[in-house]
Amino acid sequence: MSSPSPRDPERGVGRADGSSRSTGEAASDGEESPQSTWQGLAPGFVRAAAADRLKALAHPDRLRIVEALAGGPRTVSQLAAAVGRPLNMVSRNLRVLRDARVVQCSKRGNSVLYVLGDRDVARLAAVAYRGAGGQLRKVVSLAPTVAELGAGDTRAGEPDSSQDQGVEGVD
């Protein structure tokens, strides 16, 4: 999941002044278009970095890790306990998140502390949850209820065998 270098010739250079900037450094919470926050970065580079972040978040366990880290720095063992997953699985997911710069780590004595790479990561997860929740509510509202299917039939959606009109014994 490596992002192209901001100096990749096919994607242009970083900023016009030669410095680079993380795509996580959004301008503000205002109504600006995404392009207005790119400030001289090549659009292809910014899109590739954004896609890497989204791909890194595209797993329920990694979203749970982001949720846990939204509460503050944690060690791998604290994260494993918080998300209810084995230590090796959490470590693997942290590596994916770290490679995409979604999380950062620092060594503190014998422990490694993980933190969110920036505050936009938690907001990005929240937006995804909000959108998914809205879509699921629509699907649920369209699904027929048990009463609509026939409250007496415990095999909702299956044909009633007592009313089977099939022909038996036809040679």
pLDDT, one tens digit per residue, over 33-90 is 667 778 889 999 999 999 999 999 999 999 999 999 999 999 999 999 999 999 999 9
Between CA 146 and CA 120 the distance in angstroms is 42
Q: Domain spanning 42-134: which CATH class is it, in words? A: mainly alpha
E runs forming strands in the chain: 74-75, 103-108, 111-116
For the whole model, what pTM was predicted?
A: 0.63
- Judged on CB neighbours under 10 Å (0-12, 13-18, 19+), 37 is middle
Between CA 102 and CA 82 the distance in angstroms is 18
Compute the average pLDDT of residues 140-169.
59
Q: What is the pLDDT of residue 133?
A: 93
For the ranges 9-23, 27-41, 98-112, the one whose mean pLDDT is highest: 98-112
Q: What is the pLDDT of residue 143?
A: 80
